[in-house]
């Protein structure tokens, strides 16, 4: 769930632990709720309601009331079903060990003993048999989120320990990321002792961040932590501009090693440029900010009908125009047809006609999981049709 109130939030911990100055810099940028965040909030609310229904805490009427205003599509139904099933499976497994196992959903967790005024909301907590399990639903499908050394999960777990350790004498903590759109279920297991030690280790840095230090450090956490300050952060910009050390006037002199280095940076440079452009446009439109050498103008637009397309079509048909000539007839994409027909029926009727042509060759980092195309000749042969298209 998004945490907008705590200065040191669990969701922002990756940033403030690695770059304590991010707290003060991010506070200078207006927080805008993205479509992804809204989608995530909806998925959390739906998942929570489904679990409460499955555990009989909600009646069907109460469940429908809880989800009545949510904008849900078929995929979200499937993914939240998977989340509910996973949580129930974990709960049942704990209940097989001890009938006293408890399930807590959307609990406010106070971890201020390790990060001043820090609190957050834990999606799902299961406690029993001296074990605490935290399950965090991630609805994003961009970056695969790992559980190992994940400071958000660890802070939630510390908050849960602070609230329940004295009642349940917790010895072991299991922290799980459930990210259905990436097929990712990842877990870290620590003893309560190890977790307390980690909490102690981050306390000095949390104090610095809370006191609004201007100590910055740019690295992968800037992008993976989605730091809002990236468009204005000097440290981040300097890191990106290290690229300027290359002499672009004589590209033919670049060695393969230098080109690798550029390739490595190129994608993040282009993302950074987009961030800066979006920020500047937003500030110019909404806050009247001016940027020397730039002005705000009306962008290009295309003509459109000012009444509904169906009314236009009915007028044309009434005048004798053929419907087939005014409406494009196009088969739906495979994924839409599969959803519409159901996987089984789709496979039965159309499965034999589906092929997956090879994708165009792309240069990716060596860490990419796809196998390398070793033979240039074979690759050329495989892809000659693709090149020619």
Sites of contact with ligand SF4 (CB under 6 A): 15, 19, 21-22, 25, 216-218, 221-222, 227, 229-230, 233, 235-236
- The residues, any chain, with a CB within 8 Å of residue 71's CB and separated by 6 or more, are 42
- Complex with ligand SF4: residue 154 or 239, whichever CB lies closer: 239
CB of 208 to ligand SF4, least distance (A): 13
Q: What count of other Cβ atoms lies within 10 Å of the Cβ of residue 226? A: 17
CB of 172 to ligand SF4, least distance (A): 33
At 251, phi and psi to the nearest 5? -60, -25
CB of 201 to ligand SF4, least distance (A): 20
| H or E, element range at 206 | helix 192-210
CB of 189 to ligand SF4, least distance (A): 29
Place of tokens 């922290």: 175
Look at phi and psi of residue 254 and say left if phi exceeds 0, alpha if psi is from -120 to 50, else beta: beta
- Complex with ligand SF4: residue 84 or 239, whichever CB lies closer: 239
- Complex with ligand SF4: residue 135 or 229, whichever CB lies closer: 229
Give the C-alpha separation, 377 to 73, whole Å. Answer: 45
Give the C-alpha separation, 23 to 228, whole Å. Answer: 10
Give the C-alpha separation, 106 to 94, whole Å. Answer: 19
- Complex with ligand SF4: residue 58 or 236, whichever CB lies closer: 236
Give the C-alpha separation, 175 to 70, whole Å. Answer: 28
CB of 15 to ligand SF4, least distance (A): 5
- Which spans in 231-255 are helix H? 234-241
Contacts 24+ apart (CB under 8 A), 220-223: 221/14, 221/15, 221/18, 221/19, 222/15, 222/19, 223/268, 223/271
Crossing angle for the helix pair 74-97 and 35-54, to the nearest 10 degrees: 50
DSSP 360: P
- Complex with ligand SF4: residue 170 or 227, whichever CB lies closer: 227
CB of 76 to ligand SF4, least distance (A): 31
- Complex with ligand SF4: residue 19 or 109, whichever CB lies closer: 19
The DSSP bridge partners found for residue 176 are 135, 187
- Complex with ligand SF4: residue 55 or 213, whichever CB lies closer: 213
- Complex with ligand SF4: residue 107 or 235, whichever CB lies closer: 235
CB of 13 to ligand SF4, least distance (A): 12
CB of 214 to ligand SF4, least distance (A): 10
């Amino acid at each position: 769930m998004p945490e907008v109130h705590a200065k040191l939030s669990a969701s922002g911990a990756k940033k403030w632990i690695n770059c304590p100055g991010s707290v003060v810099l991010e506070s200078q940028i207006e927080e805008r709720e993205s479509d992804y965040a809204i989608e995530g909030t909806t998925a959390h609310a739906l998942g929570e309601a489904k679990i409460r229904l499955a555990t009989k805490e909600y009646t069907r009427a109460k469940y429908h009331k809880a989800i009545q205003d949510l904008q849900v599509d078929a995929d979200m139904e499937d993914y939240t079903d998977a989340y509910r099933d996973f949580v129930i499976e974990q709960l049942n497994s704990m209940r097989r060990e001890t009938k006293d196992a408890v399930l807590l959903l959307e609990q406010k967790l106070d971890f201020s003993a390790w990060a001043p005024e820090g609190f957050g909301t834990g999606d799902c907590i299961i406690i029993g048999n001296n074990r605490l399990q935290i399950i965090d639903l991630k609805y994003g499908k961009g970056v695969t989120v790992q559980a190992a050394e994940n400071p958000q999960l660890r802070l939630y777990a510390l908050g849960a320990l602070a609230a329940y350790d004295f009642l349940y004498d917790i010895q072991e903590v299991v922290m799980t990321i459930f990210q259905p759109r990436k097929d990712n279920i990842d877990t870290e297991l620590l003893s309560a002792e190890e977790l307390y030690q980690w909490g102690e280790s981050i306390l000095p840095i949390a104090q610095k961040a809370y006191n609004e230090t201007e100590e910055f450090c740019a690295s992968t956490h800037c992008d993976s932590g989605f730091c809002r300050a990236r468009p204005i952060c000097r440290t981040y910009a300097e890191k990106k501009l290290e690229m300027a050390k290359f002499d672009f006037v004589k590209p033919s002199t670049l060695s393969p090693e230098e080109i690798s280095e550029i390739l490595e940076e190129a994608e993040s440079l282009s993302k950074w440029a987009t961030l800066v452009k979006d920020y500047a446009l937003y500030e110019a439109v909404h806050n009247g900010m001016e940027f020397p050498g730039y002005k705000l103008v009306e962008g290009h637009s295309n003509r459109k009908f000012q009444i509904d397309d169906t009314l236009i079509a009915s007028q044309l048909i009434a005048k004798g125009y053929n419907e087939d000539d005014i409406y494009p007839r196009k088969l739906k994409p495979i994924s839409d047809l599969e959803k519409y027909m159901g996987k089984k029926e789709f496979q039965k009727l159309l499965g034999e006609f589906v092929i997956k042509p090879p994708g165009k060759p792309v240069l990716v980092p060596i860490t990419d999981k796809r196998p390398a195309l070793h033979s240039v000749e074979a690759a050329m042969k495989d892809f000659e049709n693709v090149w020619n298209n």
